[in-house]
Amino acid sequence: MSNQPQIAWALLIGMVSSRIGSFNYQAVGHTVFAVGRFLSALAGLLVAPRWILMFLYVCLVITSALAMNLTDRAGVAMIVLILFFEASTQQWFGRHAG
C-alpha cells in the first residue's frame, strides 16, 4: 500500500517529462521572461534600481555557473532562471541604473 503513491508519482513524472519538447521549453522560457519583467517592475517600486541590478547580476553569475556544471533537467532549469534574471536586468539598463 505504501508504494502506490510513489508509483503514481513516478508515472505522472514520466508522462509529463516524455511530452516536453523544444516548443514547450520555448513557451516556458517566454513565460518566465514576461514574469521576470513584471516582477522587476514591481520591485522597482520598493527598492532602488541599483540594488535591483546588483542582485540580478549576482543571480545571473550564480545561475550561469550552475548551468555550466549541472546536467540534464537541472541544467535546463538553470537556463530558465537565466532567462528570468536576464529579462529583469534588461529592464534596468540606461537612465534607471544611475
| More confident position, 65 or 1 | 65
3-18 mean pLDDT: 54
The three grid cell numbers given for residue 25, joined into one nine-digit string: 521549453
Alpha-carbon distance values, 15 to 5, 12, 49, 66 (Å): 15, 5, 42, 27
Q: What confidence category does residue 76 fall into, taking pLDDT thresholds of 50, 70 and 90?
A: confident
**What does the pLDDT look like over 14-62, one tens digit per residue?**
544 555 666 677 788 888 888 888 888 888 889 888 888 889 889 999 9
36, 87 in Cβ contact below 8 A? yes
Q: What percent of the chain has pLDDT over 90?
A: 7
What pLDDT is stored for residue 61 in this prediction?
Answer: 92
Alpha-carbon distance values, 22 to 17, 32, 42, 78 (Å): 12, 15, 30, 16
| More confident position, 88 or 2 | 88
Spell out the domain ranges in the chain: 22-97
Q: What confidence category does residue 12 fall into, taking pLDDT thresholds of 50, 70 and 90?
A: very low
DSSP letter string, 44-78: HHHS-HHHHHHHHHHHHHHHHHHHHH--HHHHHHH
